[in-house]
Amino acid sequence: MCLRSLGCWKASASFSTGRRDRAQSKSFDEYRKAVGIKSQEEYIRLDAANCAPNYVPTPVVISRGEGVYVWDIDGNKYLDFVAGISSLNQGHCHPRITEALIMQAKRLTLTCRVLHNDCMPVLCKFINDLLGYERTLLMNTGAEAGETAIKAARKWGYEVKGIRENRAKIVFCNNNYWGRTIAAASSSTTPDNYRHFGPYTPGFELIPFDDLPALEKALEDPNVAAFFVEPIQGEGGVIIPQNGYLRGAAELCRSRNVLLIVDEIQAGLGRTGRMLASDWEGVRPDVVLLGKSLTGGTVPCSAVVTNAHVMNVFTPGTHGSTYGGNPLACAVAYEALSVLVDEQLAENAKKQGQFMRDELSKMKEKCNLEWIRDIRGRGLFNAVEINGSSGEAMQLCIELKNEGVLCRPTRGNVLRFLPPLCIDEAQMKDALQRIQNVFCRKTS
């Protein structure tokens, strides 16, 4: 029966050529046209009527992207300083990444881990060689990478460090963000992330961010298996710790036989001007988490990168994912990482990011923008903190949208600017002029 079915599929003109006969369902584009929605307002109402209300999107409906630009359904063009919250470091629809996606989609998309494929080990080797580690475990989302790291750290704590069963602890920082799973909610101090999602996962301890004495005190507990930290708190407001914090944390963890897990999902892969944000302090974490721009904004893929003494606590059946390490994601991730290296996007992020902060500071002085509390960032991971409320920050984002620049607020009163790392000087100057047009109209 299987062979007969395969033969029928192979012989089918509609399958082999991609054509549809009249009995088949409409294509997505045909169905979208049949729905009859034409205006942005109608699309937004369609969203409200059919989708989960778990986000408050900027009121614009995007239909196309290329490089640093996106276009809405009416043809209006925007500089995208959201970039999928740092998922599009290589830019929208990068031709090399798109070509890799198409070519692999025509060959093989999924085997599951119960079969070997000819893509996953190649990508894992490439990541290990690029970052200087021994083992990589591929998952799909950033939250899955975080969950994987927690499981690995707990198992390592029991089997290698010798912590008594069910006593292992993971230390996190206040205002952290690494996802919206139950474990992530259990380790969060943000009410929207944890309220009414209890009971919570035990075994987590929270300490202040950028506070080495607090970390030293927490690590006095011999049951601590790992310290899980972001090198820059993105959702927390683009909070950059003092120089030496990450290096000091690494030294404390090493002295206490505690794993240092660094979440590079938003800050890594060139965003701060180095391949990893932890590179700024010369820190080599025990475990590195990657995601978002790992595939250049195409298909979901995340990675947990570490050495054998940590990863080898996983044995067959202890962890996995149907789609983790699928051939499609692997081929795309290889090309996305290669683009970062070949086009020197980290170096460009360092240059353009410094230029942006310098120009924003000049703008603040020129227009006497006393409502700006702080301008901060590293590379193209930049933020403007205002004295106003979350409503004012969102209103500024809408005014910037009307001026042709897309950005989003975080932590209420912080505007986060995350353009693709391929942005050039002319595009940055254009964006800054548009930002100035909005900022200098605001007097308080």
For the stretch 282-325, pLDDT in tens is 999 999 999 999 999 999 999 999 999 999 999 999 999 999 99
Residue 16 has pLDDT above 60, yes or no: no
Residue 7 has pLDDT above 70, yes or no: no
Residue 417 has pLDDT above 50, yes or no: yes
CATH architecture for segment(s) 37-92+345-442: Alpha-Beta Complex (3.90)
Listed by start position, the domains of the chain span 37-92+345-442, 95-343
pLDDT score, position 18: 59
Which residues, other chains included, contact 334 with Cβ-Cβ below 8 Å and sequence gap of 6+? 100, 119, 122, 123, 126
- Which option is the CATH number for 95-343: 3.40.640.10, 3.40.50.300, 3.40.50.620, 3.40.50.2300? 3.40.640.10
Q: Is the model more confident about 238 or about 12?
A: 238
For the stretch 116-151, pLDDT in tens is 999 999 999 999 999 999 999 999 999 999 999 999
Strand (E) or helix (H) holding 155 = helix 142-156
pTM of the model: 0.94
On average, the pLDDT of the chain sits at 95
Q: Is the model more confident about 10 or about 66?
A: 66
Phi, psi of 288 (to 5 degrees): -120, 135
pLDDT-based confidence at 62, cuts 50/70/90?
Answer: very high
220 token code pair:
């006095």
Residue 2 has pLDDT above 70, yes or no: no
For the stretch 332-359, pLDDT in tens is 999 999 999 999 999 999 999 999 999 9
**Closest C-alpha to 414, from 380, 379, 388, 378:** 388
Beta bridge partners of 71: 64, 77
pLDDT score, position 244: 98
Hey, is 381 helix, strand or coil? strand
Hey, is 411 helix, strand or coil? coil
pLDDT score, position 390: 73
pLDDT score, position 21: 63
Residue 250 has pLDDT above 80, yes or no: yes
